[in-house]
Chains A and B, each alone.
Chain A
Amino acid sequence: IQLTQSPSFLSASVGDRVTITCRASQVVSNYLAWYQQKPGKGPKLLIYAASTLQSGVPSRFSGSGSGSEFTLTISSLQPEDFATYYCQQLNTYPLTFGGGTKVEIK
């Protein structure tokens, strides 16, 4: 299953609302997760089951969607949110990731 993230890059300011889209080539139900990765670190789980916030993740992060189209929204971008974000489908093996969205400071 191919996952297409858009945009691949975005430039935003602190306080902005940011939305990232992930489209799957086949239906994955709600078996979709979102991860945040900062330089030199392993990824961090943000959202699972398409819309469930992982424990300890700030509430400004939210996920929505089902089937084959999903979104990750950051309601008010904070300095620590500048990173690369990946979606992942867990419905079908081989498991696959989207190509990533790099969020940079405007």
Chain B
Amino acid sequence: EVQLVESGGGLVLPGRSLRLSCTVSGFTFADHAMHWVRQAPGKGLEWVSGINWNSATTGYADSVKGRFTISRDNAKNSLYLQMNSLTTEDTAFYYCVRNSYTYGSFDYWGQGTLVTVSS
């Protein structure tokens, strides 16, 4: 069974940093690109960042470029999101997502971890 489990969310002050982790099981992690997608409470979905299988290629939404860094450790079956200079606009549920082989669609999603940026 494919599982993606996010951790690391919580309450953080504006301007501070937080690191999210996603541990996966049930598939060969190194075979897939991975993404982070976020959703502010009561709002729609926003793609945040993606990384290819060997970390050679990464991409970021304009809203987080220069502040967030995506990375992965294939030996540990883990995906990470380092978030710096957080603002209240970054408050959201953050989902770890697997990129499928077919047309790049997102075929498995974690349950999400909530990041709240507030003073």
Contacts and interface: CB of A to CB of B under 8 A. Distances in A.
Which of under 10, 10 to 19, 20 to 34, or 35 or more describes the interface residues of A? 20 to 34
A45 B109 CA distance: 9
Given A33-B106, A42-B112, A54-B107, A100 B59 contact: no
Contacts of A43: 45, 95, 106, 109
Interface of B: 35, 44-47, 50, 59-62, 95, 100, 102-107, 109-112
23 contacts: A30-B103, A31-B103, A31-B104, A33-B103, A35-B106, A41-B111, A42-B109, A43-B95, A45-B100, A45-B105, A45-B107, A49-B102, A49-B103, A54-B107, A88-B106, A90-B104, A94-B61, A95-B35, A95-B50, A97-B44, A97-B47, A98-B44, A100-B45
